[in-house]
Amino acid sequence: MTKVRTLVLRAPGTNCDGETSFAFQQAGAIVSTVHINRLISGEARLTDYQILVIPGGFTYGDDISAGRVLANELRLKLGEALQNFINRGGLLLGICNGFQVLVKAGILPGNQTSLTLTTNDSGKFECRWVYLKVNKNSPCIFTRGINRMYLPVANGEGKVVLSSELAEPNITLRYTDKEGNHNPGYPDNPSGSVGDIAGISDATGRIFALMPHPERYIRGTQHPRWTREGAKKYGDGFRIFQNAVNWVKEL
């Protein structure tokens, strides 16, 4: 059986690496938490891993704009290594700040559409739980077999804006209301994202980024109402990590 090796990237300001590492470990992966300086120096190598994750946080204080500094480091100092990782079939996941990084590094959405993330319409940091719908037409490996999810968000710059229409298969997750209806408005779409976009993937389905935090709901007891409604064995976010690990195992 394939040993699934996952690299969870750290940089100054990363704060969700522990939860993300734990989620992948629970899904059966061998996880290494690696500071970006170790990759830049060559002490650690992407060639040793099948999954690369950029977790949430506020890398480099979100100076200039959220994720911009880390995105520049990836693009300018690790661009060739990262492209080789993608070309050989690696999985790449960006969560919250990781979403911002992948977009600003030019890795997503992976076509001619200009997309970025900017300040929430509310003008404030949004920390709440949201309902999500998975696009069945998306090729995303991470969301296979998932229909709906309930996950927490925590961001100040989570609004997706576009210069032109994004291809429908690239839109993997949308915010909905409790009943699963689209165009729910605030606070169900907490940032005001265009088209209620909460997550996107590339055409291969191997690169996926989302603003909500699946690593914060992998156990039933992490649900905010579990004492009233009962706890499921696994939280809604756990399937994302399972899907990634299982896909690698099947190679």
Cβ 105 vs Cβ 74: under 8 Å: yes
**Strand 148-155 relative to strand 126-134, pairing:** antiparallel
Catalytic site residue 182?
Answer: no
How many other C-beta atoms lie within 10 A of the C-beta of residue 83?
11
Please confirm, yes or no, whether 229 is among the known catalytic residues: no
The whole-angstrom separation of Cα 157 and Cα 97 is 9
The one catalytic residue among 16, 19, 126, 213 = 213
Which among 73, 157, 215, 223 is annotated as catalytic?
215
Q: How many CB atoms lie within 10 A of CB 138?
A: 21
Q: Give the SS3 label for residue 187.
A: coil
Cα–Cα distance, 111 to 205 (Å, whole number): 13
* 8 Å CB contact between 5 and 32: yes
Catalytic residue among 19, 73, 96, 140: 96
Instruction: Specify which residues 52 forms β-bridges with.
Output: 7, 92
Q: State the Cα torsion 102-240-165-191 to the nearest 10°.
A: -80
Q: Cis ω on the peptide bond leading into residue 12 (within 30° of 0)? A: no
Is 96 labeled as catalytic in the residue annotation?
Answer: yes
Per-residue b/e over 154-192, b at no fewer than 16 CB within 10 Å?
A: bbbbbbbeeeeebeebbbbbbbbeeeeeeebeeebbbbb
CA dihedral 169→174→177→181, nearest 10 degrees, is: -20
Catalytic residue numbers? 96, 213, 215
